Structure 1
Amino acid sequence: MSHRPVLLWILASDAFGGGERLSQCCLRGLSRHFTVHLLTQRPLAPHFTPMPGLSVHYFEAYGLTLPHDYRRANVLAYAAAILDRAEAVGAHLIHATMHNASWFLAVARLRHPRRTRHLALVGSLHGSLAGYYQAERGHPPTARVRLGVWLAGRVLDGIITPSQGVATELAHQFRVPSARLHPVHNGVDREALAALAAAPCPQLEGIAGDDPPCRWVVSAGRLAAQKDFETLLWAFARLADSHPQWRLRILGSGEREPALRGLARDLGIAPRLHLTGFQANPYPWLRAGDLFVLPSRYEGFGLVLTEAMSLGVPVMASDCPWGPAEIIRHDRDGVLFPVGDVAALAREMDRLMGDAEARRVLAQAGRARAEVFSEAAMIAGYARVLSRVGGLSHVP
């Protein structure tokens, strides 16, 4: 009979992305310390049901299919489902992943203080809310959003963030008590990453056979305003004539694809732009890059940077809120440039595209730096926070 504490992990999501991938990694590791249950949406079942030692439950069993609907009745129903499942599995702790689940968990405590009195409730906010609203909505977070984050920060026992920057933003802009904020950097399983990067990729092999061989600037992410791929296209266009052997490849899909293709045509670089679309395994493409650039307007951490660094690709990133500046030490193991600054990005790209030795040195330093951001360190960080907040001193 197991005497390990019971952890209920909430993932109110119906699509697989960064937060879902992080949950996979954490749940694999935390199952060594906790009896782990996952409450999620049924579309994510294929990503979690094969995991040994993990019991998976679904919001659909409660008739809930809209995890991003914030109308009152839906929020209350999700909060009630979380508490019902926690009581059914005998949970000691509940961890909610990302903003929506954290809000559902906060509402559960606000509505049911007696039922949650003996539970440790931990949320997690994985990105810059201020950056999101400014980039996606064109204005700062609304008063209603600020109030919601402020309340969550006071009723939850802790909030995990992927970077110190996100924690600082929550403390300064949303007045979340600093004592309840726990930065834990995202991590990479280097062995698993290397295996994925070495997997056969016929599409890539066909392109790699081009004669003469090309050099590739690579980027990756959802084709959305957040990633600001427009700045990358403008910078690349400035260098197209002086670096004729270079091409630009962007891994990902999204609503900005037609606009990016149109901009590439207007800039005269369409023949040298390769939009791969969604790639279930992007790592062979990533490893094949000669220079990786992340031009985001905002991030929560920037895990793809550590992945590129682990694969030995030299990296550049915007000094955006938040994450890249915690990963990259400028001109030591990567290059930082101001957000949206086409001239600065073009200048740094020009320097590295024209200097193979500088790229080699930067890649070597980046690979060493990436060792700091390991999956093992991330899992240990989550275990420490959850055990501390839950008063479980016997958990490592």
Structure 2
Amino acid sequence: MRVALISHDIYPGDGQGRVNYELARYLLSQGVTVDLLADRVDEHLVDLGATWRPIHPGGQSVNLIRVWRFKHLVNRYLDAHASRYDVLLACGVVLDRPHTVNVAHFVHGTWIDSPFHAAHRHRAPQKWYYRLYSLLNAHWERAILHQAEVVVAVSDNVGRDLVQLGLPSERLCVIPNGVDTDEFSPGPSRRAALNLPGDVPLGLFVGDLRSPIKNLDTALRALVDIPDLHLAVAGTLDGSPYPSLALDLGVANRTHFLGFQRDVVGLMRSADFFVLPSHQDAFGLVVTEAMSTGLPVIVSRSVGASCLVTPEVGIVIDPPDNVEALKTAFTTLASDPDRRAQMGRAARETALNCSWSRMGSRYLELFHEVGAPSHSGLSQPASKKLA
């Protein structure tokens, strides 16, 4: 089988890039011939046998012109070479032609209406650029997704958004993202090295601290009335409003802002539970990473990975800004070490069933179902294959 994996980044530097990288690595391990049509590629994949066909390498940010030009260049390449592939695997708005599978990591068509959209946080002209960026991507997204034989959503939340936009449910399947269960595994605490208190219950938040979308403010408000609980916060602090908010709420002495952290595994091993009450999050790899490390998790229903969080492994709150619900969840986990330990073991077991290889095997199974021997990029109706 020969697969063309089409995405701007196939590089483990961010969430989608990491998923693309791990999928490519798995396919190569199974003897699949993989061509990477991308701007950035981790050279390790080339060492493993992948062929990188650069689109316009070197760019670090995905802007409106780059999105349009990427589609144009990919279309031109496939006009000449599409017949060599059994599967054309596209990630979102990266081409404009019939293809086999499109993976939806994010849905522009619903994000544009969110009150947390970047257009609401900037002044002109940035405000108008962000809105134009989403409007055009939403327009391209609708057209491109309807040209895919099958659309893969990375979470139930993304799947619901796609159906809301008019994608027939029979052409949709959900394959959750994976996690490195070897890298993210239980281990010794590093609280002393991180200057964190060793004798208190400690929650952990990891995420963007410059945008309200990850909803740290609700976590800080819930912390106010739980005097024994501390919260470690990892993320870039430049331009963040949250240290000041913690001070205003009177929880600055129990909120430990650690800045950007490379050793996320060590940080997770030092915590008692993980919290991510995002207003919107297509998946949230950090949730499954915490579960794999053996942490109970508290997430909002708006986090895509919440579909994996059962009462045995964590607590799901809804809506995200429900301070009382989050306060109750904090109290439940902070006050019961035995329950935390039990939930952490269950979280680890759940994560073991969500490994990168498990994710890759589900994609490969799908490819065998939809891959057309004629190399046409289209075969029998997806509803028949996915039934």
SS of the counterpart of 2:240?
helix
Q: Return closer, same or farther for 1:321/1:358 CA change in 2, 3 Å cut-off.
A: closer
For residue 232 of structure 1, what is the amino acid of its counterpart? Answer: A
Establish whether residue 181 from structure 1 lines up as the match of residue 172 from structure 2.
yes
For residue 201 of structure 2, what is the amino acid of its counterpart? Answer: R
How big is the shift at 1:53?
Answer: 1.6
Which residue pairs with 2:240 in the alignment?
A: 258
SS of the counterpart of 1:316?
strand
For residue 7 of structure 1, what is the amino acid of its counterpart? Answer: V
SS of the counterpart of 1:60?
coil
Which residue pairs with 2:336 in the alignment?
A: 355
How big is the shift at 1:373?
Answer: 1.7
For residue 178 of structure 1, what is the amino acid of its counterpart? Answer: S
**Gaps in structure 1 of 5+ consecutive residues:** 110-115
Alpha-carbon distance between aligned partners in 1 of 2:112 and 2:258, rounded to the nearest angstrom? 25
Which residue pairs with 1:336 in the alignment?
A: 316
Aligned-residue Cα RMSD (Å) equals 3.1
Which residue pairs with 1:272 in the alignment?
A: 254
Q: 1:55-78 CA distances to partner (integer Å, 9 max, x unpaired)? A: 2232236xx84763335xx55531
For residue 36 of structure 2, what is the amino acid of its counterpart? Answer: L
SS of the counterpart of 2:105?
coil
How big is the shift at 1:146?
Answer: 5.0
Which residue pairs with 1:28 in the alignment?
A: 25
How big is the shift at 1:283?
Answer: 0.9
SS of the counterpart of 1:207?
coil
Counterpart pick for 1:92 among 58, 63, 86? 86
Between the aligned residues of both structures, percent identity stands at 24
TM-score, structure 2 normalization: 0.81
How big is the shift at 1:364?
Answer: 2.2
- 4+ runs deviating over 6 angstroms: 138-143
SS of the counterpart of 2:275?
strand
Establish whether residue 282 from structure 1 lines up as the match of residue 268 from structure 2.
no
> Contact conserved, 2:235 with 2:259, CA < 8 A, in 1?
yes
Q: Return closer, same or farther for 1:279/1:95 CA change in 2, 3 Å cut-off.
A: farther
Establish whether residue 159 from structure 1 lines up as the match of residue 151 from structure 2.
yes
Alpha-carbon distance between aligned partners in 2 of 1:378 and 1:392, rounded to the nearest angstrom? 24
Q: Return closer, same or farther for 1:186/1:19 CA change in 2, 3 Å cut-off.
A: same
Establish whether residue 54 from structure 1 lines up as the match of residue 50 from structure 2.
yes
Which residue pairs with 1:227 in the alignment?
A: 214
- Larger RCO, structure (CA 8 Å, separation 6 or more): 2
Greater helix fraction, Structure 1 or Structure 2? 1
Q: Return closer, same or farther for 1:231/1:132 CA change in 2, 3 Å cut-off.
A: farther
Deviates further, 23-32 or 137-146: 137-146
For residue 262 of structure 2, what is the amino acid of its counterpart? Answer: A
**Gaps in structure 2 of 5+ consecutive residues:** 121-130, 375-387
How big is the shift at 1:207?
Answer: 3.2
Q: 1:86-135 CA distances to partner (integer Å, 9 max, x unpaired)? A: 446943322222xxxx2231x2x1xxxxxx6xxx4422111354256414
Alpha-carbon distance between aligned partners in 2 of 1:280 and 1:10, rounded to the nearest angstrom? 28
Alpha-carbon distance between aligned partners in 2 of 1:134 and 1:189, rounded to the nearest angstrom? 31
> Contact conserved, 1:128 with 1:322, CA < 8 A, in 2?
no
Within a 5 Å distance, the mapping from 1:198-217 to structure 2 comes to: 204-207=191-194, 210=197, 213-217=199-203
SS of the counterpart of 1:9?
strand
Q: Size of the alignment, in residue pairs?
A: 355
